[in-house]
């Protein structure tokens, strides 16, 4: 299986055409980079026509491609840097984290602007969902790093007496972070913060589908961080392929299950451990005996106010009872208007669809014969502005495409069942999602849900927030991914936990060594079981 | 093939029914493993003798005893492990509850290995059971008596609608890997591990790979002769005492300062004689080479004349009995195979350095091993080894015993593996840790929702700083 071909199939279906013009290799000279950055801001970035961008590329001279050789060189360079011990000491890690903190303070406007350029993300959403989360992560690491780095003492048993033992966290080495386009800033920097705090050298490959943010990250990392150990490689399929051929000590990938498989297969060649943060169809089960207004607002918050449905942990679909559905739909209708006004297409408080190919995909889901007549709210779209209104569909058939793939957009199917418990079977018949939500006051239902619905994480009576809680690991299971991070879990994710046992030369038991006798056998049995009575008995020859 | 499909279907069905999730089921299965080990101890000694020529003491120490200990440990801790772990949730989200709940992956596949065919199959099984999964064990066909034993005896003691043994070789393994598993646990070589992980990638199946590597033993100068004796004795035990060198954590080679090489060789020879007599072949206390393939492989390592020249002790081989004498080599060429692949046999190269601290660079220029052993009393040197080398584990002044320490994770890094187990780590390796958060409908934070405005932005800034006083002031309209 050729990595490049596989990636090309996937990437080209998500607007890579337009973004190719912006896949500047990382060896660009600074001067020209700044110039073209300015052009980027001035040129109204549109996916419709590449003419503006084509003339831009003509002005920039042909730069050497970032190919396998360049990738190998990069990996070697960073490995040299890591081997010099530079990244492992506490001071270096703290200095990098402090620089990130400074960068977030000083460049907040630039970041917000880039996110607006890439996704029309409202300023406040950019702040809440991305900038503050990164700030939080950074702050936590700065505060806790010295504790995290302390070896963990562990108890030893009679079996290895006398001895002492501990678990030492050490960096893995040189790690690769491959990020994605929907929270391009957060999902790039958050793992990088984890990698740095664990003492690794890092290569970050941001998504080319969010080119303004990708470019910004490249510039900011160069400006604020230690470039001998932390680098950004911009680009698309080719660059990612070149990177994946190298040996890394860990790879953290955020994106689709399809590409996740490719990443893991590439990692397998080098026995590189991976963390895959994927997605899935995150269901929200809505019971009837609840505070409907609050529940609905939280659902909207977890769907349309969160990158307009383009979030891995966003609510993908709702399951509720047949009786309750009309009430739910009315409440949604009302609250949507409160949030986004009478005409959501005009609202400044909602993000747009990221690219024309994503737009086309969502349009196809809506136009599907099986569901086109099930739309009960919304359905408006504007291909020029890449906007689709919050759309609700009722009782779509299970075999419709919209129920077969992760929607990742502002379409919300509502499935109805006789009893709310029937929702469990529906969820269990699908691949395990990254998150599962339940709105209810019924304690037994909550218990059953938690026990019986496998998912990366779950949240009762709210949406999304569990990933903002540092104490909880963020990761999937099955199709939604493997491994986790956030908070201390990020530090752990990028560390090797080395087991260390200290022994002395005293008390060397001859029972350990041949020639083996029955007496030795008996004593050995007792020692392994750590059973002091048997040890004594064996010693006295019982 | 059809039979495999049916078996897998049965396992999936069983898991879905929820049967493997109850504490009672898990404890029963663990007790059944204990009973099996107890009832069939003699049979186990026999099959290990058959496959590997293992002496019962070695068999007990490395296989039966390990499984017994694991099962008992799991039984006494399982309720604790299964309980959700409360996590701190910020005041901002009050009232809410956050916890991490372990849940089984589902149907898991365990690949056994041939050198510790009983424990490397049953120890992970204990982890998989305690975590509540349904399991398929694929023992190594290179240890046929043990594999048959597992296939025949396990169904008599364990719940065979949830735990199955599937026998076979490379073909059957390939077939198994075509299917979707919820977790794969593999013990073996890096080459095969890479194939397993590639196959797992197709289904996004998480893997734990327990591999090996060239585990070095660093022998620093020890001023007291009795310490030196103990150290070398342990080195002998750590090389030939565990399946005759065929162990992932066995000592692969020794690093020592040039001036101590003669003493080292002398004492090594002394203990080899003490442990195994004049003719180790007849001692009965040393395992044999597993099969012809590996015998050939080891013979080939000695074929290079320069390597053969470096032999200072032993070197004799007998193809018929698959016997290779405990062999010591002094400074074989570093580019020879014997210094580039995991030996996994009774050949011990001694590499001399001018200053023992050079060992660190030597080790770092090679793939990360599963274990590093260091015999030293120099505290600075210990710290240096810890900080400047990377390995699955480090043990000071002893060998192999870290394996028996349930509180220490057992696993590799880099080429020596991915993931870990033993003790609670076995439970964890077969569990998905699900984050669960619960909230109430009140109070409601208005600033969470659009339409957005300046006030809401101010609020959220304060919220992210957990500046509760600021929030209060803002709410009371007292903040600028």
> For the residues A218-231, what does the mean pLDDT come to?
97
Catalytic residues of A: 277, 312
Alpha-carbon gap, residue B394 to B402, rounded angstroms: 8
- B189 Cβ contact list (under 8 Å, min separation 6): B211, B212, B342
Query: pLDDT tier at A514 (50, 70, 90 boundaries)?
Result: confident
Read off the pLDDT of residues A118-153 as tens digits, 9 standing for 90 and up.
Answer: 999 988 889 888 999 999 999 999 999 999 999 999
Task: Please tell me the distance in Å from B284's CA to the nearest CA on chain A.
Answer: 9
What pLDDT score does A37 carry?
33
B401, A501 Cβ separation under 8 angstroms: yes
Global pTM value: 0.90
Which string of b and e fits A282-308 if b means at least 16 CB within 10 Å?
Answer: bbbbbbbebbbebbbbbbbbbbbbbbb
What count of other Cβ atoms lies within 10 Å of the Cβ of residue B38? 10
What pLDDT score does A162 carry?
85
Query: pLDDT tier at A508 (50, 70, 90 boundaries)?
Result: confident
Read off the pLDDT of residues B326-345 as tens digits, 9 standing for 90 and up.
Answer: 999 999 999 999 999 999 99
C-alpha A332, offset from chain centre: 29
Specify whether B215 is catalytic.
no
What pLDDT score does B175 carry?
96
Return the bridge partners of A253, or none: A178, A276
Q: What torsion, rounded to 10 degrees, do the Cα atoms A216, A220, A226, A230 define?
A: -20
> For the residues A423-451, what does the mean pLDDT come to?
96
List the one residue out of A483, A280, A457, A302 whose CA is nearest residue B98. A457
Alpha-carbon gap, residue B421 to B428, rounded angstroms: 8
Give me the catalytic one of B58, B63, B210, B257.
B210
User: What 3-state DSSP class applies to B98?
Assistant: strand
> For the residues A168-194, what does the mean pLDDT come to?
97
What pLDDT score does A337 carry?
95
Tell me which H or E stretch contains A79.
helix A68-83
Alpha-carbon gap, residue A355 to A358, rounded angstroms: 5
Read off the pLDDT of residues A19-64 as tens digits, 9 standing for 90 and up.
Answer: 333 223 333 333 333 333 333 333 333 333 344 444 444 444 555 6
Residue of A140, A350, A505, A510 to mutate, testing the B interface (most B Cβ within 10 Å of its Cβ): A505
Read off the pLDDT of residues B173-209 as tens digits, 9 standing for 90 and up.
Answer: 999 999 999 999 999 999 999 999 999 999 999 999 9
Alpha-carbon gap, residue A118 to A45, rounded angstroms: 8
Q: What are phi and psi of A115, to 5 degrees?
A: -65, -35
Interchain proximity B200–A520, CB inside 8 Å: no
A529 closest CB neighbour out of B69, B193, B405:
B69
> For the residues A451-463, what does the mean pLDDT come to?
95
| Among the ranges given (A29-38, A388-397, A516-525, B314-323), the one the predictor scored with the smallest mean pLDDT | A29-38
Alpha-carbon gap, residue A337 to A291, rounded angstroms: 19
- What length does chain A have? 542
- Which residue of chain B is at minimal alpha-carbon distance from A277? B204
Please, which residues 72-101 of chain B have a Cβ atom closer than 8 Å to chain A? 72, 87-90, 93, 96, 98, 100-101
List the one residue out of B351, B390, B384 whose CA is nearest residue B368. B390
| Among the ranges given (A34-38, A69-73, A355-359, B60-64), the one the predictor scored with the smallest mean pLDDT | A34-38
Query: pLDDT tier at A6 (50, 70, 90 boundaries)?
Result: low
Which residues from A are below 8 Å from B437, CB to CB?
A: 457-460, 462, 465-466, 469, 472
- Identify the residue whose tokens are 């499935």: A415
């Amino acid at each position: 299986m050729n990595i490049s071909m596989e990636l090309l199939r996937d990437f080209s279906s998500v607007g890579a055409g337009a973004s190719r013009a912006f896949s500047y290799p990382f060896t660009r000279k600074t001067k020209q980079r700044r110039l073209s950055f300015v052009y980027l801001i001035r040129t109204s970035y549109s996916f419709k026509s590449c003419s503006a961008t084509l003339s831009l590329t003509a002005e920039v001279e042909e730069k050497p491609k970032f190919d396998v050789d360049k990738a190998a060189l990069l990996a070697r360079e960073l490995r040299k840097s890591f081997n010099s011990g530079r990244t492992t000491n506490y001071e270096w890690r703290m200095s990098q984290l402090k620089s990130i903190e400074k960068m977030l303070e000083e460049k907040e406007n630039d970041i917000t602007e880039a996110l607006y350029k890439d996704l029309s993300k409202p300023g406040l959403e950019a702040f809440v969902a991305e900038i503050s989360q990164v700030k939080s992560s950074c702050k936590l690491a700065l505060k806790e790093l010295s504790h995290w780095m302390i070896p963990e003492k562990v108890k030893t048993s009679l079996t290895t007496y006398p001895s002492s033992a501990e678990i030492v966290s050490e960096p893995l080495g040189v790690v690769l972070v491959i990020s994605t386009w929907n929270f391009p800033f957060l999902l790039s920097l958050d793992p990088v913060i984890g990698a740095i705090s664990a003492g690794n050298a890092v290569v970050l490959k941001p998504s080319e589908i969010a080119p303004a943010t990708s470019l910004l990250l490249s510039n900011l990392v160069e400006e604020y961080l230690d470039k001998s150990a932390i680098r950004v490689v911009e680009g698309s399929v080719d660059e990612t392929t070149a990177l994946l051929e190298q040996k890394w000590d860990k790879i953290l990938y955020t994106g689709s299950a399809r590409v996740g498989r490719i990443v893991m297969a590439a990692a397998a060649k080098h026995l590189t451990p991976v963390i895959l943060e994927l997605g899935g169809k995150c269901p929200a089960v809505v019971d009837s005996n609840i505070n409907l207004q609050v529940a609905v607002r939280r659902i909207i918050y977890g769907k349309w106010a969160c990158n307009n449905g383009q979030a891995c942990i966003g609510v993908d679909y709702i399951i509720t009872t047949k009786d309750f559905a009309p009430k739910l739909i009315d409440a949604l209708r009302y609250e949507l208007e409160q949030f986004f006004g009478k005409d959501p297409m005009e609202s400044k408080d909602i993000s747009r669809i990221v690219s024309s190919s994503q737009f086309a995909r969502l349009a196809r889901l809506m136009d599907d014969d099986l569901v086109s007549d099930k739309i009960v709210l919304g359905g408006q779209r504007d291909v020029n502005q890449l906007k689709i209104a919050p759309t609700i569909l009722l009782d779509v058939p299970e075999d419709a495409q919209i129920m077969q793939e992760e929607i990742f957009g502002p379409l919300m199917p509502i499935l109805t069942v006789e009893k709310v418990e029937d929702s469990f079977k529906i969820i269990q018949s699908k691949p395990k999602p990254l998150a599962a939500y339940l709105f209810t006051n019924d304690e037994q239902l909550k218990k059953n849900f938690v026990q019986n619905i496998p998912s990366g994480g779950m949240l009762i009576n709210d949406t999304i927030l569990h990933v903002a809680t540092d104490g909880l690991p963020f990761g999937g299971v099955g199709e939604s991914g493997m491994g986790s991070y956030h908070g201390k879990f990020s530090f752990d994710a990028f560390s090797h936990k080395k087991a260390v046992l200290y022994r002395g030369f005293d008390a060397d038991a001859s029972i350990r060594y041949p020639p083996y006798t029955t007496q030795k056998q008996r004593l050995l049995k007792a020692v392994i079981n750590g059973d002091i009575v048997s040890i004594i008995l064996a010693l006295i020859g019982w | 093939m059809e039979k495999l499909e049916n078996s897998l279907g049965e396992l999936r069905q069983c898991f879905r029914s929820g049967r493997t999730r109850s504490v009672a089921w898990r404890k029963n299965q663990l007790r059944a493993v204990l009973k099996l080990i107890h009832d069939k101890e003699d049979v186990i000694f026999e099959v290990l003798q058959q496959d590997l020529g293992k002496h019962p003491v070695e068999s007990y120490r490395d296989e039966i005893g390990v499984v017994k200990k694991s099962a008992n440990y799991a039984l006494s801790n399982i309720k604790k492990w299964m309980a959700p772990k409360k996590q701190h949730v910020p005041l901002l989200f009050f009232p809410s509850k956050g916890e991490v709940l372990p849940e089984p992956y589902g149907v898991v596949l365990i690949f056994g290995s041939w050198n510790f065919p009983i424990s490397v199959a049953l120890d992970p099984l204990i982890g998989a059971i305690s975590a509540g999964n349904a399991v398929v064990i694929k023992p190594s066909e290179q240890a046929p008596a043990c594999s048959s034993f597992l296939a025949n005896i396990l169904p008599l003691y364990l719940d065979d609608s949830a735990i199955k043994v599937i026998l076979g070789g490379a073909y059957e393994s390939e077939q198994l890997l075509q299917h979707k598993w919820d977790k794969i646990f593999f013990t073996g070589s890096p080459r095969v591990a890479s194939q397993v992980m590639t196959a797992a990638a197709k289904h996004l199946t998480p893997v734990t790979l327990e591999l090996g590597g060239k585990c070095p033993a660093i022998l620093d100068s020890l001023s007291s002769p009795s310490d030196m004796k103990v150290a070398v004795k342990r080195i002998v035990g750590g090389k030939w005492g565990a399946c005759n060198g065929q162990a992932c954590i066995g000592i692969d080679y020794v690093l020592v300062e040039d001036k101590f090489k003669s003493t080292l060789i002398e004492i090594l020879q002394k203990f080899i004689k003490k442990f195994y007599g004049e003719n180790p072949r007849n001692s009965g206390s040393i395992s044999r080479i597993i099969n012809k393939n590996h015998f050939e492989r080891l013979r080939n390592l000695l074929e290079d004349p320069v390597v053969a020249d470096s032999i200072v002790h032993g070197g004799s081989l007998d193809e018929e009995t698959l016997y290779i004498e405990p062999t010591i080599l002094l400074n074989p060429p570093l580019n020879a195979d014997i210094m580039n692949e995991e030996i996994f046999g009774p050949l011990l190269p001694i590499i001399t350095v001018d200053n023992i601290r050079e060992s660190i660079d030597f080790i770092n220029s090679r793939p990360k091993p599963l274990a590093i052993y260091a015999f030293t009393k120099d505290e600075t040197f210990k710290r240096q080894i810890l900080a400047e080398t990377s390995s699955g584990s480090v043990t000071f002044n002893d060998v192999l015993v870290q394996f028996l320490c349930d509180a220490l994770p057992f696993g590799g890094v880099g080429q020596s593996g991915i993931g870990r187990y033993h003790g609670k780590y076995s439970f964890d390796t077969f569990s998905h840790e699900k984050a669960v958060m619960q909230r109430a409908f009140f109070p409601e934070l208005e600033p969470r929702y659009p339409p957005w405005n300046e006030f809401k932005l101010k609020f959220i800034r304060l919220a992210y700083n957990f500046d509760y006083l600021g929030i209060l002031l803002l709410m009371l309209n007292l903040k600028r």
